Structure 1
Amino acid sequence: MSWLKTLAAAAALQALVLTPAFAGENLDQIKSSGVIKIGTEGTYAPFTYHDAANDLVGFDVEIGRAVAEKLGVKAEFVEGKWDGLIAGLDANRYDAVINQVGITEARKQKYDFSDPYIASKAVLIVEQDNEDIKGFEDLNGKKSAQSLTSNFGKLAEEAGAELVGTDGFDQSIQLVLTGRADATINDSLSFLDFKKQKPDAPVKVVAEKADADYSGIIVRKGDADLVAAINEALAAIKADGTYEAISQKYFGADVSK
C-alpha cells in the first residue's frame, strides 16, 4: 500500500502548492513596503486617463489613492491594456485592479472582490422637450439609437422600439439631439459624464432600470484580510465625504448606488 501513501503525499503537496497565500500575507507586504500597486488602463475616461499635463487622473484613480491613504500607504499605478489587465494579478504585477471591473460570478470563481464602489444602470434618454416618452413602455413603435449587439439594444428591442444602429454612446446621443432617433437606452455613468462635460445639452433621463451593475476592486483569491482592509477603507471614504467629493467631481452625482 506504499503507493497509496506516495499518491496521498503527492496530492497533499499539490494542494499546498495551489493553496492561496497565507491569510494576511499580501496585506502585510503592502504595509511593510508602504505601497499598494494598482493595475489600471489609463485610457478609459473619466475613470482612468491622462490629462493635458499627461498626469494619470480619473474617478478610479482618485478612489485608489483615497483607499491607499486609509490603508496608510501610497498608491502606485501600473498601466496596461484591458485584455491582460486582470491576468496581471496572476503574474503578481500588482496587488489590485481598479478599472471598472464588473463583479460577476465567473470572475468571483478565480478572484476576490471588494464591496461594490460604483453602480451603473440602464437609463432611458430623450431630447429635452420630448413629452411623449416617459417610460420604457413608451418606446413601442419609436426609434431608439443603439449599439445593435449591446444589452441596451436588446432592452430597446424588447420594448418594441425600432433600432437605429450606432457605434456607441456618443453617436447615440447625437442621433437623439438631431431628431434622427426618439431615444436611446444607455449607461447612466456615460450620461452623467456627458452632462458633466456638456451641461447645456438638451437631453434628459426619463426612466431608469432598478437593477444595477456593480464594479469592485479586484484582488488575488484567498486573502480575506486584504479584502477586509479595502472594504474598511471604502466605508471610511464614504463616511468622511471623500467618496462624495470624488463622485461629484467626475459625475455631478452620487454613483455609489
Structure 2
Amino acid sequence: MVLSACKGQSVFKNGSFEVAKMWKKLLAGAVLTGLSCSLAFAGSTLDQIKSSKQLTIGYRESSVPFSYLDGNQKPVGFSMDLCAQVVDKLKQSLNAPQLTVKYLPVTSANRIPLIQNGTVNIECGGTANSLERQKQVGFSVATFVSHTKWLTKTDSGINNAKDLKGKTVVVTQGSNAVQFAKEINEKDGLGLNIVQAHDHAESMLMLQSGRAAAFMEDDILLAAKKADASNPNQFKFLPDSYNTLAYGLMVPKDDPEFKALVDKTLSDMMASGQFTQVYKKWFENPIPPRNANLNFPLTQDLKDRIAHPSDKVPS
C-alpha cells in the first residue's frame, strides 16, 4: 500500500476507502507531533525559503560571543554577524530582497531536533561539529576552533583536574562537554558528581554560588563567562586541556545546495579579510552588554581554517 497524496486526499494504490480513512487519522496524528506532510515533502531548504519567502535563524540566548541577548534583549554576536552575510547572499541568489528573517531561541538540548524537523533553517550559535552530530545535521566550514577545559574559582585550592576528585562539577545539558566529563571521570577514576544545567548561564551560576567546584565547557565559552563576571579574577582555568573542536553554522543534513551557499559566503569572507574583521569585533574588542573584552586573538588552528576553509572534524 503506497500513500500517493498528501493534503487530505484519499488516494492509495491497492487499498480501499476504509484504509484511506485510517491513513488520514494516522496523518493527523503525525501533524500533531510536528512531522507534517508539508515538511516531509517540502524539498530542499532553498526551495522552502524561496516558496515561503522566509528564513528562520536559531540563536542562543547566552553563548557569548557567538550568539546571545544584548541589553535590549536583541540577539547579537559573532555567529549572528556571519549569518547576516548568509541572509544577504540568499536575497541575491533567490532574487528575494524582501526575504523575511525570523529569529528563534534554541538551547543545547533542542537545537538539533529543530534543524531536523525544519523549524529552524540555520543555527547561528556556538555548536561544535562532530562525527556523531553529522549523523543528524550538517555543518558549514569551520568558523572557530576551541578546546575543552575546566573553569574553577581562583581561591578553590583546585589546581588541576585531579584535585576535582569526589567533587560536584557542572556541564550544560546537550553540550559535548557532557560526554567528555563522563569519559574523563571514568578514565581517571575521579568519582565526580556530574550535574547538568539548563544553559551556560545556569552552569556559571552554579560555579559562582559554590554548588559546583568546576564548570567544563569549550574554552572560549568559559572565557566569555569569566570576562562577563562582576569580578573576572575570581575565576581561573585549570591547565588540563582536552580535545580540539571545530565550530560551524548548523544546517540541515543532506542538503548540498544550501550548505554550498553557506560555505561560499563564509569562504568569500575569509578570503577577503572580512571574516577576520568580524572576529576581532567580537573577540578582541569590548562587546555588549557590559563592554567586556574577551582578549581572545586568532589562534593558529583558526588561522589555518581561514586559509583553507573546511568542515573537517579534528582528529
TM band (smaller chain) = 0.5 to 0.7
Report percent identity of matched pairs.
16
- Alignment pair present for 1:112 and 2:138: yes
Question: Are 1:237 and 1:243, in contact at CA under 8 Å, matched by a contact in 2?
Answer: no
> Paired residue for 2:295?
252
- The total of aligned residue pairs comes to 230
**Following TM superposition, by how much is the alpha carbon of 1:92 offset from its aligned partner in structure 2, in angstroms?**
4.5
Unaligned runs of 5+ in 1: 1-9, 11-17
Aligned equivalents of 2:281, 2:55: Cα separation in 1: 24
Structure 2 alignment gaps of length 5 or more: 1-12, 14-39, 93-98, 198-202, 288-293, 303-315
For the residues of structure 1 that align with 2:242 and 2:100, how far apart are their CA atoms? Answer: 34
CA distance in 1, matches of 2:147, 2:139: 20
Amino acid at match of 1:152: A
Q: Normalized against structure 2, the TM-score is what?
A: 0.54
> TM-score if structure 1 supplies the norm length?
0.64
- Structure 1 residue ranges, 4+ long, deviating more than 6 angstroms after superposition: 129-132
Counterpart amino acid of residue 43 in structure 1:
E
Give the 3-state SS of the residue equivalent to 2:210 in structure 1: helix
Secondary structure of the residue aligned to 1:175 is coil
Equivalent of residue 39 in structure 1, options 49, 57, 64 = 57
- Residues 11-160 of structure 1 correspond to what in structure 2 (within 5 A)? 21=43, 26-27=45-46, 37-46=55-64, 47-69=66-88, 76-82=101-107, 85-89=111-115, 92-128=118-154, 133=159, 135-136=160-161, 139=162, 144-147=167-170, 150=178, 151-152=180-181, 154-156=183-185, 158-160=187-189
CA distance, structure 1, for counterparts of residue 158 and residue 61 of structure 2: 38
Question: What whole-Å deviation, never above 9, does each CA across 1:78-103 have from its counterpart, x for those lacking one?
Answer: 31554655444455445322233443
SS state of the match for residue 62, structure 2?
A: coil
Q: Is the 8 A contact 1:141 1:160 kept in 2?
A: no
Q: Which residue of 2 aligns with 1:170?
A: 205
Alpha carbon RMSD of aligned pairs, Å? 4.3
d(CA) in 2 for partners of 1:229, 1:208 = 38
Shift of 1:146: 0.5
Q: Which residue of 1 aligns with 2:264?
A: 232
Letter in 1 for 2:62: Y
The 1-side partners of 2:280 and 2:145 are apart by 14
Write out per-residue CA displacement over residues 102-145 of structure 1, whole angstroms, 9 at most, x where no aligned residue: 43334423432212223442213455478983x54xx1575654
